[in-house]
Chains A and B, each alone.
Chain A
Amino acid sequence: MTPDSPPEILIDGSPPSFREYCLELWKFREVAKMLIRRDLIVRFRQTYFGLAWLLFKPLILMAVMSFAFGFLAGFDKNHSIPYPLIIFCGVIPWYFFSNAVPDGMNSLLGHMHIIQKTYFPRAIIPCAAVAVDAIEFLVAWLLFALGCLWFGYLPGWQIVFFPLFCLQLLVLCTAVSLWLAVANVKLRDIGNLVPFLLMSGFFLTPAGYTIARIPEPWKLLYALNPLVGIIEGLRWSLLRGMDGFPETPVLLSLAVTLTIGLAATRHFLAIEASLADLA
C-alpha cells in the first residue's frame, strides 16, 4: 500500500470500540453541523418573532412559577435574594432538560427514513437534537443576566463553577437521550411513558422551589434525582453561595450522571449498527 492510498473500511458486523466510534463521530462532524443548522432554521422560519421566542418561553415560565410558588405558596419569605432569580436558576435547566429529553428520544424514530438510506454514526442524530436545545439553554441565561441588572444583584466568585454545572447538565441530557432514543425505537411505549414521567419529575425537581423545602430525612432520597444537584449547584454558583455548598446533592448527582452516561454509551454502541433492522 502506498502512503497516500485511502484507508480501508472493514464491514464485518462487529460493534466498534469506544475510541473507533469517537473517531467516526469526528469524521462525520459535518452532518451534525448541518442537522443543527437545519433544526435552527426550521424552528424560526415563518415566525414573526423569530429568535425572540428563545427568551419568551423561559420568561413566561419564570413569571408563572414566581406567581405559583413565590406568591401563592409563599415560598419567597426567607431569602434576601430576589425570588425570581432563584426561580430562574431552576427553570432554565429544567426547561432545557424537559425539552432535550423528548427531542432526543424521538430523534432516531423521526430520522428513520434517513437511517434506512445512508450511513453515518447514528449517535449524531440524538446529539444534534440535544445540541439545538442546548443553544436555547445558553441563550436563556441572558434572561438571568438581565434579571441581575434589574434587581441590582451581582453573582460572587462562585460563578467560575457555572460552566461546570452546565457541562454536567449537557452530559446528563445527552446520555438520557441516547438511551431513550434507542429504547424508543425498540419499544414505542417509551414515547408514551416519558412525557408523563417528565410531568411528574417537574414536582420532584427544585425548579420552582429550593431543596430547603425538603424535610431532612427525605433529602438523600430526593437528591438521587440528578437534576437536584445540578440545579442547587447552579444556585450556589450564581447566587453568591446561597445556603452554602450543597455537597451531598452535587456528589450524588455526579455519580448518577456518570453511571447513566457510561451505561447509555455502552448500550448505544452495542445497538447502533442494527438500528435500521430494529425499526
Chain B
Amino acid sequence: MEKIVVDVETLGKRYALSHQQRTDSIKSWLLSAVNRAIANGPKPNVEEFWAIRGVSFQVHRGECRALVGKNGSGKSTLLKILSRIIPPTEGRVRIRGRIASLLEVGTGFHPELTGRENIFLNAAMLGCAEREAKRQFDAIVDFSGVERFLDTPVKRYSNGMYVRLAYAVSAHVSADMLVIDEVLAVGDHDFQRKCMEHLKAGLSSGRSAIIVSHDLSLVRELATHVTWLQNGRIVESAPIESDILQRYSG
C-alpha cells in the first residue's frame, strides 16, 4: 500500500456574508441594534456561505493532484486550509511530513533587502532553517541566474529577475509535499520550462504535490490525479487516465 501523505476528510469552510442593511436614520439603526441585542438570535442580515464543504481526498507519495474548477469553486480556500493559513470550520486534514506552500512567489521579499538577504528571509518563511538555506544557496542562485545582482537591493531588480529569484528559493525548499497555486506562470518561456522540469524531477523522486491551475495542458503534463470542484463541492475525483479532464472541459 502506498504511503498517504495528505488525508483530507469532509473538509468544510463557512463564511458569514453580511449584507448591507438600509439605515435611513439613526433611529432605525438604533432600533435594529436594540432588536438584535434583545432577541439574541442570528443577525437577520447575515447569510451563511460555505466556500467548500464535504471535500475528501487523499494524496499518496509521489502523486500530483490537480484541483480544477471555475473561479469561486473553492480551490484557493482549500489550498489555504492545507497551508494552515485559515482554519477549517469542519472536517480535518492530516499531513505526514513537511509541507511547503507556494501560494505566491517571493512571500516576505522586502524591497530594501539584497537578493542574498531575501533568499534567507524567504527560505525561513517557507519553514526552511538557515543551515539548509546555506546548503542550497548555490543551487538557488544558479537556478535563478541573478548571480551578478546578489548584493543589489531587490527594489532595483527587473520584474523577471525578481520572480526568477523568488521561484528559485521556493523550488529548493526541501519538503515532502508542495502546494502550488498558479505560480508556475512566472518568467519567460524558457524559465517556465525549467520550473516544469524541476517540479517533475521532484515528483519522480517521491515528492507529492497539490496544484491549482487553469492551464489544462500543464495539468495534463504534471498531474496523476484530478479533483474537479464546483461551488465548493467535489464533482468528480479521478486519476488523469480516466478522461476526467475531457469531461471537465467538455
Q: Interface on A for B, CB 8 Å cutoff?
A: 5-6, 8-13, 28, 30-31, 33-35, 37-38, 41-42, 45, 114-120, 273-274, 276-277
Q: Of B87, B99, B101, which one neighbours A273 at CB under 8 angstroms?
A: B87
Q: Is B86's CB under 8 angstroms from A274's CB?
A: yes
Q: Is A31's CB under 8 angstroms from B112's CB?
A: no
Is B81 interfacial (CB-CB < 8 Å)?
Answer: yes
Is B83 interfacial (CB-CB < 8 Å)?
Answer: yes
Q: Is B88's CB under 8 angstroms from A6's CB?
A: no
Q: Is A114's CB under 8 angstroms from B108's CB?
A: yes
Q: Interface on B for A, CB 8 Å cutoff?
A: 15, 80-99, 101, 103-104, 107-108, 110, 112-113, 117, 120-121, 124-130, 153, 176
Q: Is A11's CB under 8 angstroms from B93's CB?
A: yes
Smallest CB-CB separation from A15: which chain B residue? B87
Q: Is B112's CB under 8 angstroms from A41's CB?
A: yes
Kindly list chain A residues whose C-beta atoms are within 8 Å of the C-beta of B117.
Answer: 37-38, 41
Decide yes or no: A11 and B96 within 8 Å by CB, A34-B120, A277-B86 being known contacts.
no
Kindly list chain A residues whose C-beta atoms are within 8 Å of the C-beta of B93.
Answer: 10-12
How far apart sit A35 and B98, CA to CA, in the bound complex (Å)?
Answer: 22
Kindly list chain B residues whose C-beta atoms are within 8 Å of the C-beta of A12.
Answer: 88, 91-93
Q: Is B96's CB under 8 angstroms from A6's CB?
A: yes
Kindly list chain B residues whose C-beta atoms are within 8 Å of the C-beta of A273.
Answer: 86-87
Chain B nearest CB, measured from A109 CB (Å):
16
Q: Is B113's CB under 8 angstroms from A31's CB?
A: no
Q: Is A118's CB under 8 angstroms from B129's CB?
A: no
Kindly list chain A residues whose C-beta atoms are within 8 Å of the C-beta of B95.
Answer: 8-11
Smallest CB-CB separation from A46: which chain B residue? B112
Q: Is A34's CB under 8 angstroms from B121's CB?
A: yes
Q: Of B91, B125, B130, which one neighbours A114 at CB under 8 angstroms?
A: B125
| Extra 17 A-B pairs, beta carbons < 8 Å, given A8-B95, A45-B153, A114-B107 | A6-B98, A8-B96, A9-B94, A10-B92, A11-B84, A12-B91, A13-B92, A30-B130, A34-B121, A34-B125, A42-B110, A117-B85, A118-B103, A118-B125, A273-B87, A276-B85, A277-B15
Smallest CB-CB separation from B87: which chain A residue? A13
Q: Is A11's CB under 8 angstroms from B92's CB?
A: yes
How far apart sit A28 and B127, CA to CA, in the bound complex (Å)?
Answer: 7
How far apart sit A41 and B121, CA to CA, in the bound complex (Å)?
Answer: 12
Kindly list chain A residues whose C-beta atoms are within 8 Å of the C-beta of B112.
Answer: 41-42, 45
Kindly list chain A residues whose C-beta atoms are within 8 Å of the C-beta of B103.
Answer: 117-118
Kindly list chain A residues whose C-beta atoms are within 8 Å of the C-beta of B107.
Answer: 114, 117-118
Q: Is A120's CB under 8 angstroms from B125's CB?
A: yes
Q: Is B85's CB under 8 angstroms from A116's CB?
A: yes
Q: Is B83's CB under 8 angstroms from A119's CB?
A: yes
Q: Is B92's CB under 8 angstroms from A38's CB?
A: no
Kindly name the residue among B15, B83, B90 whose own CB sees the greatest number of chain A CB atoms within 10 A. B83
How far apart sit A13 and B124, CA to CA, in the bound complex (Å)?
Answer: 24
Kindly name the residue among B81, B101, B108 whose own CB sees the greatest number of chain A CB atoms within 10 A. B108
How far apart sit A124 and B84, CA to CA, in the bound complex (Å)?
Answer: 16
Q: Is B96's CB under 8 angstroms from A30's CB?
A: no
Kindly list chain A residues whose C-beta atoms are within 8 Å of the C-beta of B98.
Answer: 6
Q: Is B124's CB under 8 angstroms from A30's CB?
A: yes
Kindly list chain B residues whose C-beta atoms are within 8 Å of the C-beta of A41.
Answer: 112-113, 117
Q: Is B85's CB under 8 angstroms from A118's CB?
A: yes
Q: Of A11, A34, A114, A117, which one neighbours B88 at CB under 8 angstroms?
A: A11
Chain A nearest CB, measured from B104 CB (Å):
5
Kindly list chain A residues whose C-beta atoms are within 8 Å of the C-beta of B15.
Answer: 277
Decide yes or no: A38 and B89 within 8 Å by CB, A30-B130, A33-B124, A114-B125 being known contacts.
no
Kindly list chain A residues whose C-beta atoms are within 8 Å of the C-beta of B153.
Answer: 45
Kindly list chain B residues whose C-beta atoms are within 8 Å of the C-beta of A31.
Answer: 124-125
Q: Is B85's CB under 8 angstroms from A115's CB?
A: yes
Kindly list chain A residues whose C-beta atoms are within 8 Å of the C-beta of B85.
Answer: 115-119, 276
Q: Is B127's CB under 8 angstroms from A120's CB?
A: yes
Q: Is A42's CB under 8 angstroms from B125's CB?
A: no
How far apart sit A35 and B91, CA to CA, in the bound complex (Å)?
Answer: 34
Smallest CB-CB separation from A272: which chain B residue? B87
Kindly list chain B residues whose C-beta atoms are within 8 Å of the C-beta of A118.
Answer: 83, 85, 101, 103, 107-108, 125-126
How far apart sit A68 and B81, CA to CA, in the bound complex (Å)?
Answer: 56
Kindly list chain B residues whose C-beta atoms are within 8 Å of the C-beta of A274.
Answer: 86-87
Chain B nearest CB, measured from A257 CB (Å):
31
How far apart sit A118 and B96, CA to CA, in the bound complex (Å)?
Answer: 18
Chain A nearest CB, measured from B41 CB (Å):
23
